[in-house]
A and B are shown apart, each in its own frame.
Chain A
Amino acid sequence: MTNNDYIIEIRNISKSFGDKVILDDVSINVKRGEFVTILGPSGCGKTTMLRLLAGFGQADKGEILINGVDITGTPPHQRPVNTVFQRYALFPHLDVYENIAFGLKLQKVPADEIDKRVMKVLKMVSMTDYEDRDVESLSGGQQQRVAIARAIANQPKVLLLDEPLAALDLKMRKDMQIELKEMHRKLGITFIYVTHDQEEALTLSDTIIVMNEGKIQQIGTPTDIYNEPQNSFVADFIGESNILNGRMVKDRLVEFVGHEFECVDEGFGEDVQVDVVVRPEDIYIMNKLEGAQFTAKVKSCTFKGVHYEMYVETENGFELMVQDYNAFEPDSEVGLLIRPADIQVMHKERICNTIEAEIVDANHVKFFEETFECLPHSGFEEGEKVKVEITFSKVDLIDHPEEGMLSGLVHFLLYKGDHYHLTILTDEGYHLWVDTNDIWDKGDLVGINIAPQDIKIIKSDE
């Protein structure tokens, strides 16, 4: 079934390089004329997705349709898309005019028509009178403008932009953002924009697709993505946020930082563990303590231009970031208040590590390609496939990788107010989630130990 509203339909695309999964069953629909941004940290698969759209590389699985036509196997020169590359990729042996006319000449467009179109796109990118210049004599910003002009001169149905502003300085980037938005409006064609800059994504897009580790995390408008992040990754990646462990007491009542708050979320069930996101600008901070929902002590206060950024610590040890136009002195007691609509409650992706395992003998179990000692168990046979559960806080991380039963590196970390929630990638490529009070950095090599009494064996579902 094809829907005519969609100019691009990406269906269940998967792609791996060697053992590494880059894209994992990704499906995206893009409406005609939309400005869509694929946003994510480096290595999330966003550039690979764009390259598959352009035709540089083949997906292992899935299909891509443009205008309802399957183009999965079409070579790049026959696709109705054009690309603006991150590092411009202008042809250094041709001047500005010849660069822009390159595609038109190949299509055998008459010379006077080429002339007209080159002048038109040069005007569009504010580069009139530059047509005879050598491309290498232009500044970075000017080269990027020529690259954009070259791509739109071919009048593509879809323009693909691969971090086009990443190499420019901040001021130039801001100007180009406005111009790109304006260009999108004038051309009326679909833009697919890839970036790791969340601010750029929020400024430019009609729709943002947040990606991480080859999977789509959330698709939505900039306001949706900012105000209602669907998981802790999105909340952490887009803007500043306080991400905390919480418990849904019942509908419209959630408990976190040791207090109960009214909220607007329903349908999570009663007494369910959740993640709670509160944006720092949504926490009201005041001197008087009455009328406040909870109190805290100011730890630090930094001037950020428009607002002050303060870290406060509640009486039960949770650290929160608060932004306000007024400064509050460090060490002063403050009252805090959060409105129900500003509390974003999210399902927890997992509440403990659940790992496929195999019983070795009476007190050993094998998982992650390693045999672990566990407490004597009953009811399981040798070689039986089981699952083990390990609480986040019971995984012990040590400095020296070689001294651990397993070794790995810190892949992702999230501050949860009173502890860090780490994602560890073991050397064998498995994920393990850990709660710890120790401070680790992304990329740290760690040894991993798990005590026998902390390995809980449960029956496999199968």
Chain B
Amino acid sequence: MKRFFAQCYIWLLLIILYAPIVFIAVFSFTESKVLGNWTGFSTRLYSNLFTGDMQGTGSLMLAIENTIFIALVAAVVSTVLGTVAAIGIHNMRGSTKQAITFMNNIPMLNPDIITGVSLFLLFVFLHISQGYLTVILAHITFCTPYVVLNVLPKLTQMNPNVYEAALDLGATPFQALRKVLIPLLKPGMISGFILAFTMSLDDFAVTFFTRGTIGLDTLSTYIYTDARKGGLTPELRPLITLLFVGILILLIVINIRQIRNSNTENK
């Protein structure tokens, strides 16, 4: 009996959690302009999305392009910065190491709105005109700690002598980094990259405060503006559904990778 209620509880929780997304996914297959009004099955909205045959098409497509471009650049740069930082932190000793690790964790716990506002003030203070560059810089800022967090455990797992062994065998420090360290850190770097990419895709608050007034829109800011104009563009429903499915697949891939990794380690 106790088990039954426990089961019910977890299912209820999952239903409440996923209901909004399922709701949107279901209504992405109808043409109605108003959400919640079923006017028969249709894939029109999907085809509209891809052929661009709809209202305000240009700006939606542009927003999607911006989002992906910003996420890619931010993820690549923060993967490089984060990996280098993790190697540095790993080689520190004692209290400095603790202090730096702690400082690395703060941006992750800090509310986005505070990160956004403070970056906004910083850019104003430095007279940097806000736009593409500032959004990318801001995204790198909050993505890098996640990469550090993913690479650090790989460094602790590593035999501390392998880097030295490479030097000992005649590798220059750069060759040792390229031929030994990076291949060993690659799994951590990849999961860090994926995490940074999704964090950037997801971001609204920071982007909102750092995009300036040049009319730069990412998907999240576009949806926000669109919703305030009165009602969502119907084509956003299939878009949200596709994004959700995409991220779901990504998550499943990461999980499978992790399971495989831990299996090979146990062998």
> Which positions in A face B, CB cutoff 8 Å?
54-56, 75-77, 81-83, 85-93, 102-103, 106-107, 136-137, 150-151, 154
Contact = CB atoms under 8 A, between A and B. Distances in A.
Contact of B169 (A86, A87, A102, A136): A102
A87 B161 contact: yes
Interface string B139-183: 000000000000000000001011011111111110100011001
Nearest to A57: B164
A90 B165 CA distance: 8
A82 B167 CA distance: 10
10 contacts: A54-B164, A77-B167, A82-B169, A85-B165, A91-B162, A91-B165, A92-B159, A92-B184, A102-B166, A102-B169
Interface residues of B, number: 19
Contacts of B180: 91, 93
Contacts of A82: 168-169
Contacts of A151: 168-169
Q: Which of A76, A88, A90, A136 has the largest number of chain B CB atoms within 10 A? A: A76
Contacts of B267: 136-137
Contacts of B167: 55-56, 75-77
Given A82-B168, A103-B171, A151-B168, 4 more contacts: A81-B168, A89-B162, A93-B180, A106-B171
Given A76-B164, A93-B184, A150 B159 contact: no
Contact of A154 (B166, B169, B172, B183): B169
Interface of B: 159, 161-162, 164-173, 175, 179-180, 183-184, 267
Nearest to B182: A93
B52 to A, nearest CB: 46
Contact of A93 (B170, B172, B175, B183): B183
Contacts of B179: 102
A91 B179 CA distance: 10
B170 A106 contact: yes
A354 to B, nearest CB: 36
Contacts of A92: 159, 162, 184
B188 to A, nearest CB: 13
Contacts of A136: 267
- Sorted nearest first, the 4 A-B pairs with minimum C-beta distance are A89-B161, A103-B169, A89-B165, A76-B167
Contact of B168 (A76, A88, A93, A107): A76
B170 A88 contact: no
